A and B are shown apart, each in its own frame.
Chain A
């Protein structure tokens, strides 16, 4: 394969599944997911950006593409390309951030994810979480610490900076 082919195939294999999930959740249109994902990768390949954060660049490109398509579909109401999309850009951004946060939680290692679920979403105490996950309280505390750090790093890598 040429360098181009290798680069495109590598981007697709490494980031394709993540992009598919993000696009699928953001557009709720299973038929168009693959087209949008491939268009995102083609655009980024053509732009050949000098970036050390390709994931964030891909996600930003997907964001723009989805917004553009959404606007086009809004102008032509008979074309219901993207069904479940919110009405304005702020809502759309929020929806994408939601998908990205969920995606980031999925990328946490399972130990850390369990601690976030117990402490944050289920509002359990450290002591209760310790019993739930079968690990000493000190371990739960340090997992919580590293879960927070890693989650921030994963979100930064996805370009979610707020």
Chain B
């Protein structure tokens, strides 16, 4: 049994797992002395036998077909059941999201109270934007619309980051966030598509600083205003 020297490295598998003939074992041992690539590779996999031993003398359920089938029945659910599980998981996600939003709203309300109190005492200069990098506003729905949009305005060196949390939105079609400056000029700061759940979370951006933004509007594809907020 002869193997070309170029092919000797494949013997590393049999060397590690066992089963090489004496001739192959000798050939690989010799090759290993002079081949740094095989030395390095052997170093990476040398922990495998100890790990393989953890799986017991027969290698565990996947190596014995009967046990594997039994386990599959016990643990793997058919597709329909799986969908129900996904639905349950997603409702837990929605629940946690509501909790998180309530928490955010509470934090925002607390911040507003502190701000208001401080403003009474210290005057408006100390409550200027540099002291308050993030402002939360809730956009009120336009008549006939039931959308809910929370906006966080985050002051950035380049302008304002707008984090939107939208609920009960149209489930299809394009939606656009406009920022309107003090002069009344409006610019699109984000656009996205409605989702089947009516929920989306996204981030827009504008070069305007928070104090330069007068209004925010969310409009549908036809240009109809769905919600707006005055900052």
Chain A residues in the interface with B (C-beta under 8 A): 1-5, 8-9, 12-13, 16-17, 20-21, 24, 30, 33-34, 38, 41-42, 45-46, 94, 97-98, 101-103, 105-106, 113, 115-121, 123-129, 137, 140-149, 151-152, 155, 160, 162
Contact = CB atoms under 8 A, between A and B. Distances in A.
Contacts of B9: 145
Contact of B48 (A34, A113, A148): A148
A18 B74 CA distance: 13
Contacts of A33: 75
Interface in B197-216: 197, 199-201
Interface centre among A3, A42, A128, A152 (most CB of B within 10 A): A152
Classify the interface of chain B: helix, strand, loop or mixed. Answer: helix
B202 to A, nearest CB: 8
Given A13-B82, A16-B82, 10 more contacts: A4-B201, A5-B90, A5-B199, A30-B74, A97-B54, A102-B62, A105-B55, A117-B63, A141-B11, A155-B51
B11 A113 contact: no
Given A121-B58, A121-B59, A20 B96 contact: no
B88 interface: yes
List the 6 shortest-distance A-B pairs measured between CB atoms, nearest first: A144-B13, A102-B60, A106-B62, A145-B13, A119-B17, A98-B54
Nearest to A38: B89
A65 to B, nearest CB: 15
A57 to B, nearest CB: 17
Contacts of B60: 98, 101-102, 105
Contact of B86 (A4, A13, A20): A13
A145 B10 contact: yes
B204 to A, nearest CB: 15
A124 B18 CA distance: 8
A124 B200 CA distance: 58
B59 A116 contact: yes
Interface string B136-164: 00000000000000000000000000000
Contacts of B89: 8-9, 12, 38, 41-42
A117 B17 CA distance: 9
Contacts of B74: 24, 30
Contact of A119 (B14, B51, B90, B93): B14
Contacts of A162: 47, 50-51
7 contacts: A34-B85, A42-B96, A98-B55, A113-B62, A144-B17, A145-B12, A162-B51
A20 B200 contact: no
Interface centre among B48, B50, B68, B97 (most CB of A within 10 A): B48
A16 B11 CA distance: 36
Contact of A144 (B19, B54, B90): B19
